[in-house]
Structure 1
Amino acid sequence: MSGQSAQELAPADAKVTPMMAQYIEIKTANPDSLLFYRMGDFYELFFEDAEVASKALGITLTKRGKHQGEDIPMCGVPVHAADDYLQKLIAKGHRVSVCEQTEDPAEARKRGSKSVVRRDVVRLVTPGTLTEERLLDAGANNYLMALTRLKGGSLEGDAVYGLAWIDMSTGSFQVSETDHQRLAADLAQVSPRELILADNLLQERELRLMAEQAGGALSPVPRAFFDSSTAADRLAHYFGVKTLDGFGTFSRAELSAAAGILAYVEKTQLGERPPLDPPVREAGAGRMLIDPATRANLELSRTLSGERQGSLLATIDRTVTGGGSRLLASRLAGPLVNVDGIHRRHDAVAFFLENEIMREGLRQMLKGAPDMARALSRIALNRGGPRDILAVAQGLAAARAVLDQTSATAGVIPEEIAAARASLEQAPHELGAELTSAIREEPPLLKRDGGFVATGYSADLDELRSLRDESRKIIARLQAEYAEELGLRSLKIKHNNVLGWFIEAPSAQTEKLTSDPGRFIHRQTMAGAMRFTTRELADLESKIASAGERSLAIELEIFDRLARAVIDAGDAIKAAAHGLSILDVSAALAKLAQEDNYVRPLVDDSRAFDIKGGRHPVVEQALRKSGGDGFVANDADLGPRGEEEIGHIWLITGPNMAGKSTFLRQNALIAVLAQTGAFVPASSAHIGVIDRLFSRVGAADDLARGRSTFMVEMVETAAILNQASDRSLVILDEIGRGTATFDGLSIAWATIEHLHEVNRSRALFATHYHELTALSAKLDRLSNATVSVKEWKGDVIFLHEIVPGAADRSYGIQVAKLAGLPATVVERSRQVLSQLEEQDRRAPPETLIDELPLFASLAARQPSVTGGSAEPDPMTEALKEINPDDMTPREALEALYRLKTLQAGRDD
C-alpha cells in the first residue's frame, strides 16, 4: 500500500471487521513490503498489495467485502505453492512479509465466536535473504551486501567506504574497506542480489547510480544501522564472544558495514539467527581489480544481454556440484594477484590432470553430493525439512567416499588438495551415519507431513505406525480371538462415530458375554443384537485413535534432535562442504584442460605477457559446437624486451570483421583465467601478475547519467588513463571513433602517448586510424601489428592471423558488400572513396608525425599516475574566474578581449 497508507484505510469513524482491523494493524507495521496474510490454506493480499501482486503474478484480482463504501481488492496464492509465487515476486524486485497464524483456531474460539486467530509476521523475504532451495540458483551465490561511508580511515582520501557481504544460504561473511575510485569495481566483483545502505547515501545521485550498476535490489535503511561506535559490541553479541580479537583486526568502516548487515538480518529474520561464519577480511589488493565496464565488455559471468550462456563462466564450468559452481564463479570474479596462491591452484589442477582415473571417480561421487551448506543454513533458520537432514547425511557420505578416493595416490599431494582432504577428515562422519539410518530414502518435503523417519530407527514409532496403518488387521485378529474363545462365529467388532469400536453379537447368543459383566461391559441393546466393549478393546481404540498424532509427535521430536546435532556440528559440516567444492573446481578445471587442450601458464612477478598460440575460449567452443572452421590461434608478446622492465603496446590495424576485437578479448580472458587458477587456451603462456585489467571494447548510451555513446567511451578511457599502472593490462578498441575524424584521431594519438609515457602499461590498442602507425617510429615500446587479409576478385577473405606491420586500408566497402548493402550503394561508395583517396595523396596524413612531435617533457607537464600536478594554463585559469550569469554585457565583452589577448600570447 505504497500509495495508500494503512492509517488512511481505517479512519476513526469507519466500521472495520475484526479480521480487517488485524490486517490493517499488521500492514501498518510493514508498509514497505507486500503482506502475505495467512487465511487457512491461502496467503491473501488486500488493497494495493493485491493489485500489485495480481499484475506481477498474472493471477485473478477479486474482491472481499467493502471498506469505506468501496470494494476491497483481493488476490491469494495457495500455501503449498507459495515458493513459486515468492520467486516471481522477488525476481521483480518486491519484498514480501509473510504473516502466519500464531495460535490454534480452537484457542481463538475460546475467547468468543467473533475472536480472530492471532497472526504476526514471521519473516521478511527479500532478494538477499533467501534460503529456500527452489528460490535460489544452485550455481550462484546469493549475496546480501551492506555499504557504508565514514570520514577518514586507513585508506587515502577524505572518505572511506566499508563493505560487508554475506550469503545466508551458506553462512559466508566477508568484509573489506575501499575508496571511491575502487568502489564500483568492488561492488561489481561481489555482484550482490541486494544492497543495503543508509537512506542519506541513496540520495546522492552518483553513489545511487553506482549502486544501481551493481545490479541488485537497493534497500535503504536508517543510518543508525551503521553506528560505528557500537558496531564491535553488536558483532561480539551476535557471535557470543567478549571480543573480536580472535576474528582478526577490522577497520571502523568494516565494523560499521558488518554491524549494519547484522542489524538488517535481525530485522528481516525476526528472531531467527542464521549460522553465519565469523567475518573474514578480504584485502582488495589481493584481487585483480576489474571495473564494471570491463566485466561487461569481457562478458565474464554474463553476456551483454544478461544471459549466463555464452559467458566465460558458462564456457569453462565443468563442475558437478552447486557449491563447486559457486566457488568457480567467485574465483573468476576476483582473480588473485598473489603468485603463491595462484601456483597452489595450478598445482591442484595439474594433479587431477595427471590422475585421470582418480579424477573421474571423484567427479562421479560428487555428482550425487547434495548442497550441504545450504541445507545446513535452512535447518539452522528453522526452515529445514527432512530432505535437508537427508542432504547433510548424503553429503557426509560423499565426503567419506571422496576421502577414500583421494587417498589412493602415490607422490606428494598438492597443498590445495591436502587442505581440502583435511576438512573432510574432520567431518562428523558418525553423525552422518546416524542421519542416514534415521531418514528414509525419499522423505516428504515438510516435516509436518510425517513419514520421514526410517523403519527400524525407533521401536516406539514402529509400534505406533503399526497401530495406525494396520488397525483393521489388529481389530480382525482380536475379533477372531473373541469368537474362538466364546464359540460365537457371529461375533463382530464394529465401529461408528457414536460408540467408537464395540463388540456386537445376536441377542440370542450373548449369554456368555452377559454372564461376565466385569469383562464384557454392556453398551447398547438393539433389536436382535447387543453391543459390548472390553477394557482391552477400549485401550486398543485409544491407541488407534492417537497413534497418528503420537507417531507424528515422535517423528517431530526425532527431527528436532537430529537438527540440533547438525547445528552443533555446523562448522565441521561447512568446512567439509567447502572442501568438496575445492576438489570439484580443481577436478573440473583439469577436465576442461584435457578436453579443450589448455596449458598451465607460468605466472610470476615480472612484467611479462607472452602468449603463444592463444585462443578465445568462448569463440573456440562456439565454433566447435556449430561445426565451423577451427579457431585460428595467435601470439601476443607485450612483455619487456632485453633489459627493459616495462611492457609494450601493440597497435593493431585491419578491417572490420577480421578478428581484432576477438584477439583483444582473448588475451584479456587468458590473463583472467591464469590468475583465477585455471589453465589457459594457448600453446604456452608467461604472464607477469596483472594488478588491474581495463577493457574498453564497444560502448552504448548511458541514459541514466545523460551520456552519449561517445561520452561513455571517453569516461571509460579517462578511468583507464587515470588508474592504470605499469602492472596493468589495457585493452582499447577504436578510441575516438564516436566523433569527428580529426577530433577522434587526436584523442587516440594522445591516448597512446599517455599510455606509453605515463601509465607504461602492457596494452593492446586496435584502431582504424592508420595514421597512428607512424607513431612506432617515435615510441620505442610501440609495435605495429595487423590482421592479415586477402583480396580475390574484389572480395575480401579474412585470414584471422595477427602479423607484424600495418594495414594499408580498412576494406570497409568490401565488408559493407558482405553485409548485404545494395549494389548501387556499394558502387557509389567506391567512386567516392576513389575521389577522397586522390585528394588525400596531395597531403599525406603521415606528415602529421613530423608536425606533432612527441612531448619530450611529458612527465613534467602531465600528472603521473602516482601524483604530481600539471603546469597551469593561463587561459584555463581565466575561464574558471568567469561566471556569465553574474556579468553585465560590458563585463562580458571585456572578458572576451582578455581571452583573445591570452590566445594571442599562447600562439606566439
Structure 2
Amino acid sequence: MSVNDQIVRANDILSTAELASDESRASATPMMEQYIEIKATNPDSMLFYRMGDFYELFFQDAVDASRALGITLTKRGQHMGLDIPMCGVPVHAADDYLQKLIAVGFRVAVCEQVEDPAEAKKRGSKSVVRRDVVRLVTPGTLTEEKLLSPSDANYLMAVARIRGGAEPAMALAWIDISTGIFRLSETAQGQLLADILRIDPRELIVPDTLFHDPEFRPVLDVVGRVAVPQPAVLFDSATAEGRIARYFGVSTLDGFGTFSRAELAAASAAISYVEKTQIAERPPLGRPERESSASTLFIDPATRGNLELVRTQSGDRAGTLLKAIDRTVTSGGARLLAERLMSPLTDPDAINVRLDSIAMLGECPSFSEDLRRALKALPDMPRALSRIALGRGGPRDLGAILQGLSVSAGIAQTMVVEDLGGELAGARAAIAALPIDLSHRLAVMLADELPLLKRDGGFIREGADGELDEMRALRDQSRRVIAGLQLQYAEETGVKSLKIKHNNVLGYFIEVSAGNASALTDGDEAKARFIHRQTMAGAMRFTTTVLSELETKIANAADRALAIEFAAFDGLVEAVVAEAEAIKAAARALAVVDVSAGLAALAEEQAYCRPTVDSSTMFAIVGGRHPVVEQALRRQQAAAFVANSCDLSPDDGKGHGAIWLLTGPNMGGKSTFLRQNALIAILAQMGAYVPAESAYIGVVDRLFSRVGASDDLARGRSTFMVEMVETAAILNQATDRSLVILDEIGRGTATFDGLSIAWAAVEHLHEANRCRGLFATHFHELTVLSEKLARLSNATMRVKEWDGDVIFLHEVGPGAADRSYGIQVARLAGLPPSVVARAKDVLAKLEDADRKNPASQLIDDLPLFQVAVRREEAQRSGPSKVEELVKGLSPDDMTPREALDALYALKKELGKA
C-alpha cells in the first residue's frame, strides 16, 4: 500500500469517535495520546496543536487543512498500524492561515503549551509538555487585525425562542467582541429573517431544537453555514439573568433595563458562547442595549437584495449605495455608516437630530474639513482595546490607544470653539471625557517605534525606567562597560597593562603580569578587594565582588530587560482596561463625528439637499436622482443624470398615499426611477441628505421592493414562483404608512394570467393596503384603472422616435405609454434583421386582433377590488337580499310595468350594499 493510500485509509477509519476510543488511545504514543484526548473534547473544530514553532494538524484535520490551504500533506509515525496524516503551519504566520480556514467555514481550536518544557522533564525524560486549548477561533469571535475588515462589523448573533403563549416569543442578541457592542431585540417568526439580514452577522448560534425545526428551514436556506447549532441548555431562560449578571459583575440587571424572557435567553446564549470560545479571557463588552423593532424601518430580505444597499446581487461592494455615500475617513465611522444604512430610523425627532449635525457642519466647511483632517490620523481604538483586554494585544495596540487619545484631545479642542448642534454636542462631551493621565502615562512609557510582538521587547522608551536602561546597557554595551571598569582598575592600581578578560571556565577575570601582581596583593585593602582566582606561568588572575556581580548582570541582562518590559506592559494594559468604558464611549462619539462630517462632505460634493422628515404620509421629491447611477455616469461617460420628480402624497383627506402606475419602454429608466425613490427614502430615514432638489418624506414604516427577476432552484422555485412569493409578502404586510415599489408583476406567466394578477394587485394596494407606491408595468391595459381608482395616477417614461429609431429621454411625465417599443430595443440589442421584421408583422396582426376585444371594456365589466371582496364575503355568509329578490321574480308572468318596478327595487337594494 502506497503512502497516499495509507493516509486515505487512515482518514477513512480514524473518525473523531474512533480516535477517542480506548483501543485508539492504548496504541498511541504519549504525545499522540494527548492530541487524541484534546481533539475528542473539540470534535467540531480543527485542532491547531502547538509543537515548537509550528501548529501541527493530524488525521482528518490535516487532510482538510492541506486541501483548504494548499500546503503539503505528509505523515508522522503510525497509529493502529496506519500512517498518520500530518501538516503544519508556522506560528508566526498563523493568522494568514486562520483567515483562509475561517473564510471557507472551518472553526479552529488553538492548542498551546501551558507548561515550561523544563518542568515536564522533571516528571521524566519521556514526559509530554502539558497542552490545552486556549481559544476557539470562529467567524463571529475574531479580534485579530488581519482577520477583520476595518469597515465591517463582525457580529456574533444568538436567536432564542420561548414557547408557552399562543405564538412563540423570539428574540435576537448580537455582539461584536472586537468593539464591545452588545444589543438585543425582540422579533417574530415572520420578521426573523429580515432582522437577521439587517444585522448581517458573521456567525449565528441557534438552539439545536430550533435548528432542526422545519419552520426554521427558510431561514437556514438563506443564511447557510453562518448558522451553527448549539445545545439548548445555553438558551435556558431560567438561568439567563444570573449568567448575564455574573458576567458583568452585578447582583441584578435592574440597572440595565427591562428585558423579555426571550431577550434574556438570547443574551445569555451569546455570552455563554463568548466565554466558551475565549476560554479564560473576557472581552470588554458594553452593557446590553435594547432595540425596539418598531424603531427601525422594516426592509424585507428581497428588498435588501433588490436595492443593493451594502452588497450587489453578485456580492460586490462596488456599485452599492454604501459605496456611493461613504466619505468616512475612519474604520469606526465606516462601520457606523453601514449600521445606519442597514437600520434606518422611524422616529422623526431622532432623524432630525442627525440631520442637524450635518447641517451644522455644512454651514461651517472649514471647521468640518479640520475635523476630517484630524480624524484621518485616528486608529481603530475599539478593536485595539478588545485585543488588549483579551490578552492578544501587542505594543502597537497600546500605541494605537496612545495615538487615539492624542488625536482625540486635539479634536476635543477643535470642537470647543464651535456652537455644536445635533449629535455633535453629546459627541464632544464623550471625547473630552477621555483620561488625560492615561495618555500622559502611555506617552512617557512607550517608545516611538513599536515592535509588532511583545516578546521582541524594545517597546518601553529609554529613560522611562532606570533599571531597564541599566539592563539594556549591559545587554547591548557589555564590552564598553567592561572596558570602563578595566580603565578604572588600571588607574586605581597603577598597572597600565591590567586587562579584564573572559573565558568559559572562569567567566570574567582581571589579569596582570606576575611582576605587577604585588599591586593587587600587597596590603589588607588590596587583598580584600582583589580575590585571587588563578596563577599562570607569567601572569595572575583575580576577580572582584563588583566584577562578579557585573558578570551575573551581563549574563541575565537580556532576560531581566524583557521581564521589566513585560511587567511594564502588564501595568499599561491594566491601566487601559480600567478606562475601557471611557475609551469605547469616545470611540463611538468619534465615529458619529466622522459619519456626520462625511455625509456633509457628500452633500456638498454631490449637491444633496436636507429632506423634511415628519410623521405624516407625505412623499414629495422634486428633481430626485439615483445616487449610484448618477456617480457611475459621471465616472464613465461624464454624462448628466436626468432628474425626475415623484409625488405620492395623499390628497384624499384621509392620509392615504397615492400610487403611480408607470408605463414605458424597456431601457427607458423605469427600474432606475423606482429604485431611486426607495433609496432616497432610506437615506432620509438614516439621517442623511438626499440626491434631490427638495424632499418631503413622511416616515415610512415598511419598505418593499420587487424589482428584477430571479429563480430559486435550490428550493424548487421558478422565476415566476419567486415573484409571486415576494409579491404575496408585500400585499400581506404593507400598511398605510409603507412604501411599495413593484416592477413588472405578472410578466412571468401567460399574458392574461399575468394581466389578471397585476390588475388585482393594483386594486389591493389601493383599496386594502392604502400605501404609497410605484407600480411599473408593460400591461398598458392597467392604465384604465386610473378612471375608477381615485388615488391611482398614470405616469410614463418619455421617448422620441426618429427615422424608425427610439430615443430614450429618461424623463417621467404624466400619462400612459401607447406601446413598449420592445422590438426597437431588440433591434438595438442586435437581433437579426429577419427576426426583427418578422416580429413587426406578428405584432401588427396581434394588435389588430386585440382591437376587436379591447381590455378597456374590463373597467366597466369588472367590479372594483373592494366590491369583489364584499361579494366573496356575502357568498360565504349566505344569499344576499338582491339574490333573494331575483329568485322571487317570474319574468314570463310580469307586465312591463311590473318588470320596471322590480328593476327599481333591485337598484335600490344594490345602493344599500
Length-normalised TM-score, structure 2: 0.92
Q: CA deviation at 1:130?
A: 0.7
SS at match of 1:665: helix
Q: CA deviation at 1:733?
A: 0.5
Alignment-derived partner of residue 704 in structure 2:
694
- What does 1:394-473 align with in structure 2 at a 5 Å threshold? 394-409=403-418, 412-473=419-480
Alignment-derived partner of residue 883 in structure 1:
none
1:319 aligns with 2:311: no
Alignment-derived partner of residue 474 in structure 1:
481
Q: CA deviation at 1:228?
A: 0.8
How far, CA to CA, are the matches of 2:536 and 2:868 in structure 1? 117
How far, CA to CA, are the matches of 2:650 and 2:16 in structure 1? 69
1:210 aligns with 2:219: yes
Q: CA deviation at 1:795?
A: 1.6
1:78 aligns with 2:90: yes
Q: CA deviation at 1:229?
A: 1.0
How far, CA to CA, are the matches of 1:690 and 1:861 in structure 2? 32
Alignment-derived partner of residue 60 in structure 1:
72
Q: CA deviation at 1:350?
A: 0.3
Please list the CA deviations of residues 210-240 of structure 1 after superposition, one character each: whole Å capped at 9, or x if unmatched: 1452466221111111111111111111111
1:131 aligns with 2:143: yes
2:310 to 297, 301, 309: 301
SS at match of 1:397: helix
How far, CA to CA, are the matches of 2:414 and 2:740 in structure 1? 44
1:257 to 253, 263, 266: 266
CA contact (8 A) 1:191 1:215 kept: no
Q: CA deviation at 1:432?
A: 1.4
Please list the CA deviations of residues 74-124 of structure 1 after superposition, one character each: whole Å capped at 9, or x if unmatched: 111111111111111111111000000001111111111111000000000
CA contact (8 A) 1:191 1:214 kept: no
How far, CA to CA, are the matches of 2:95 and 2:849 in structure 1? 70
Please list the CA deviations of residues 241-285 of structure 1 after superposition, one character each: whole Å capped at 9, or x if unmatched: 111111100011101111111111111111211111111110000
The 3 A distance-change label for structure 1 pair 91 and 598 is same
1:42 aligns with 2:49: no
CA contact (8 A) 1:170 1:377 kept: yes
Q: CA deviation at 1:482?
A: 2.7
Alignment-derived partner of residue 832 in structure 1:
842
Cα RMSD (Å): 1.9
- What does 1:811-850 align with in structure 2 at a 5 Å threshold? 811-850=821-860
Which 10-residue stretch deviates more, 682-691 or 265-274? 265-274
1:598 to 579, 598, 608: 608
Alignment-derived partner of residue 721 in structure 2:
711
Q: CA deviation at 1:526?
A: 4.9
How far, CA to CA, are the matches of 1:27 and 1:426 in structure 2? 47
How far, CA to CA, are the matches of 2:157 and 2:14 in structure 1? 30
The 3 A distance-change label for structure 1 pair 11 and 871 is farther
One-letter amino acid matched to 1:565: A
Segments of 5+ residues of structure 1 without an aligned counterpart are: 863-868, 875-908
How far, CA to CA, are the matches of 2:22 and 2:245 in structure 1? 45
One-letter amino acid matched to 2:235: F
Alignment-derived partner of residue 903 in structure 1:
none
Q: CA deviation at 1:314?
A: 1.0
1:674 aligns with 2:684: yes
Alignment-derived partner of residue 171 in structure 2:
162
How far, CA to CA, are the matches of 2:628 and 2:807 in structure 1? 23
1:180 aligns with 2:189: yes
CA contact (8 A) 1:344 1:416 kept: yes
CA contact (8 A) 1:5 1:28 kept: no
Q: CA deviation at 1:5?
A: 3.1
Which 10-residue stretch deviates more, 592-601 or 471-480? 471-480
The 3 A distance-change label for structure 1 pair 419 and 283 is same
Please list the CA deviations of residues 506-542 of structure 1 after superposition, one character each: whole Å capped at 9, or x if unmatched: 4555443455554333334556544332222111111
Alignment-derived partner of residue 282 in structure 1:
291
Q: CA deviation at 1:481?
A: 2.4
Please list the CA deviations of residues 473-524 of structure 1 after superposition, one character each: whole Å capped at 9, or x if unmatched: 1112122223344444443322233332223344555443455554333334
Q: CA deviation at 1:847?
A: 2.3
Q: CA deviation at 1:182?
A: 1.3
CA contact (8 A) 2:674 2:741 kept: yes
Alignment-derived partner of residue 898 in structure 2:
none
How far, CA to CA, are the matches of 1:526 and 1:205 in structure 2? 93
How far, CA to CA, are the matches of 1:561 and 1:770 in structure 2? 75
Alignment-derived partner of residue 8 in structure 2:
none
One-letter amino acid matched to 1:200: T
Alignment-derived partner of residue 120 in structure 2:
108
- What does 1:380-399 align with in structure 2 at a 5 Å threshold? 380-399=389-408
How far, CA to CA, are the matches of 1:861 and 1:382 in structure 2? 71
SS at match of 1:66: strand
CA contact (8 A) 1:370 1:394 kept: yes
How far, CA to CA, are the matches of 1:544 and 1:19 in structure 2? 38
One-letter amino acid matched to 2:774: L
SS at match of 2:710: coil
SS at match of 1:442: coil
1:342 to 345, 351, 355: 351
Alignment-derived partner of residue 3 in structure 2:
none
How far, CA to CA, are the matches of 1:78 and 1:433 in structure 2? 38
Alignment-derived partner of residue 667 in structure 2:
657
1:853 to 855, 858, 863: 863
Q: CA deviation at 1:678?
A: 0.1
SS at match of 1:319: coil
1:223 aligns with 2:232: yes
One-letter amino acid matched to 2:715: R
1:24 aligns with 2:36: yes
CA contact (8 A) 1:299 1:312 kept: yes
How far, CA to CA, are the matches of 1:216 and 1:70 in structure 2? 33
How far, CA to CA, are the matches of 1:339 and 1:324 in structure 2? 23
CA contact (8 A) 2:652 2:791 kept: no
How far, CA to CA, are the matches of 1:214 and 1:239 in structure 2? 31
How far, CA to CA, are the matches of 2:681 and 2:865 in structure 1? 32
How far, CA to CA, are the matches of 2:681 and 2:813 in structure 1? 21
How far, CA to CA, are the matches of 2:75 and 2:578 in structure 1? 48
CA contact (8 A) 1:664 1:731 kept: yes
One-letter amino acid matched to 1:289: F
- What does 1:527-676 align with in structure 2 at a 5 Å threshold? 528-641=538-651, 643-676=653-686
Segments of 5+ residues of structure 2 without an aligned counterpart are: 1-10, 879-913
How far, CA to CA, are the matches of 1:856 and 1:289 in structure 2? 27
Please list the CA deviations of residues 790-834 of structure 1 after superposition, one character each: whole Å capped at 9, or x if unmatched: 112222111100111111111111111111222222222222222
How far, CA to CA, are the matches of 2:849 and 2:17 in structure 1? 78
One-letter amino acid matched to 2:420: I
SS at match of 2:423: helix
One-letter amino acid matched to 1:192: P
Alignment-derived partner of residue 12 in structure 1:
23
One-letter amino acid matched to 1:142: N
One-letter amino acid matched to 2:160: T
CA contact (8 A) 2:177 2:386 kept: yes
CA contact (8 A) 1:660 1:766 kept: yes
CA contact (8 A) 1:162 1:178 kept: yes
Alignment-derived partner of residue 239 in structure 1:
248
Which 10-residue stretch deviates more, 515-524 or 193-202? 515-524
1:362 to 359, 371, 377: 371
How far, CA to CA, are the matches of 1:461 and 1:548 in structure 2? 10
Alignment-derived partner of residue 281 in structure 2:
272
Alignment-derived partner of residue 99 in structure 1:
111
Alignment-derived partner of residue 199 in structure 1:
208
How far, CA to CA, are the matches of 2:642 and 2:698 in structure 1? 25
The 3 A distance-change label for structure 1 pair 825 and 531 is farther
